[in-house]
Amino acid sequence: MTAVLIPTGSEAEWLDARRRGITASEIAVVMGLSPYSSPYALYHQKLGVLPAQDDNDAMALGRYLEAYVADRFEDRYPAFNVTGDGRRLFAHPERPWQLATPDRTIYDDASETWCDPIAVLECKTDASYDGWGDDGTDRIPVHYRCQVLWQMDVLGVQTGFVACLFLHSRKLRVYEVTMDGDAKDDLDLMRREAWAFLKRIYGRNPPDVDWRPATTGTLKHLHPSVEDRSEFIPRGLAARYRAACKAVKAAERRRDLAANQIRARMGAARFVHSGSRGTPQVIARRDVYDLPEKTITRKAATVDRLVAVKPKETP
């Protein structure tokens, strides 16, 4: 089975072709597993009502370092022939709406690349180890797993590699995902959800709103102005909203109480830890630093904050 390479002569054609199906970077959004977007936001982007996600420094840095990560991967696997620039758009030969734009495609050690690839490669950067396993394992964040499996399915390969450069440690780890029974079950579910999502678009039937910031941004974009009128909502929704507001305030008080109790115990220490003596775990870090005066909007001040520390961080 050979994936279909979609010819796109310009950026506009490339974006238009991607809008017609579900790409590998979008399947995690459809599944509600992406930390960056939401089904509600993606639905309106596909219809052209919502503009594409704004570029930011993190995205720009990831693109800039993509070639470096790919080169580091090639250094580790010199037998592979790694090609591509992350711009080639492929479609599944039987499901033209299933699309993928892998960062790189991998062939065997032959110099020609006319044959089918043997694997795909995704090049990532991250600022923490959250969701990542040890080097050489298949443990990667779930939204990246969705992306790589989708690409593997489109290109008909049994292996997908993810090379990630961790910015805080400057270490590269390589992960290998294989098309096992669990992967096939996951893909079966993803294909069903993707097709159901496309039918929503064809039928102009938007997904339910959810809690994600991308949904909030979409709603603000859809209704940028305020009209001097009132709208009725069901009593149940009103009750849930009021109860949630109270719960947030109560949770904030419990958090502030625990933070003050920690401050009382740590004194002038920078870190506080818990657990057994043999395996202490850092719980929080105290940061104290001065902010200089910035025009008339901010006076010079001292910041003193208690920051919850992630499990991987150590003093």
Average confidence (pLDDT) per 10 residues, the chain, 315 residues: 79 80 96 96 93 74 89 94 90 95 88 74 94 95 98 96 94 97 97 97 96 95 91 94 95 95 93 80 88 68 78 49
To the nearest 10°, report the CA torsion of 12, 17, 22, 24.
-70
Which of 3, 166, 183, 9 shows the shortest CA–CA distance to 100? 3
| pTM for the predicted model, two decimal places | 0.83
* pLDDT value of position 55: 67
Q: Token pair of 26, please?
A: 């979008």
The alpha-helical segments, DSSP class H, found in 203-234 are: 213-222
Q: Which residues of the chain are in CATH 3.90.320.10 domains? A: 4-221
* pLDDT value of position 276: 72
Residue 72 buriedness (CB in 10 A; 0-12 / 13-18 / 19+): middle
Which of 120, 142, 122, 116 shows the shortest CA–CA distance to 131? 142
* pLDDT value of position 311: 61
* pLDDT value of position 314: 45
Contact 42, 26 (CB under 8 A): yes
Fold (topology level) of 4-221: Lambda Exonuclease; Chain A (3.90.320)
Query: How far is Cα 119 from Cα 109, in angstroms, rounded to an integer?
Result: 13
The alpha-helical segments, DSSP class H, found in the chain are: 11-19, 24-30, 39-46, 57-76, 142-155, 181-202, 213-222, 235-266
Q: Please name the helix (run of DSSP H) or strand (run of DSSP E) that holds residue 86, with its range, or none.
A: none
**Cα distance from N-terminal residue to C-terminal residue, the chain:** 52
* pLDDT value of position 313: 45
Query: How far is Cα 95 from Cα 157, in angstroms, rounded to an integer?
Result: 16
Contact 154, 3 (CB under 8 A): yes
Tally Cβ neighbours within 10 Å of residue 146: 23
* pLDDT value of position 42: 96
Query: How far is Cα 12 from Cα 234, in angstroms, rounded to an integer?
Result: 43
Q: Token pair of 36, please?
A: 């960056």
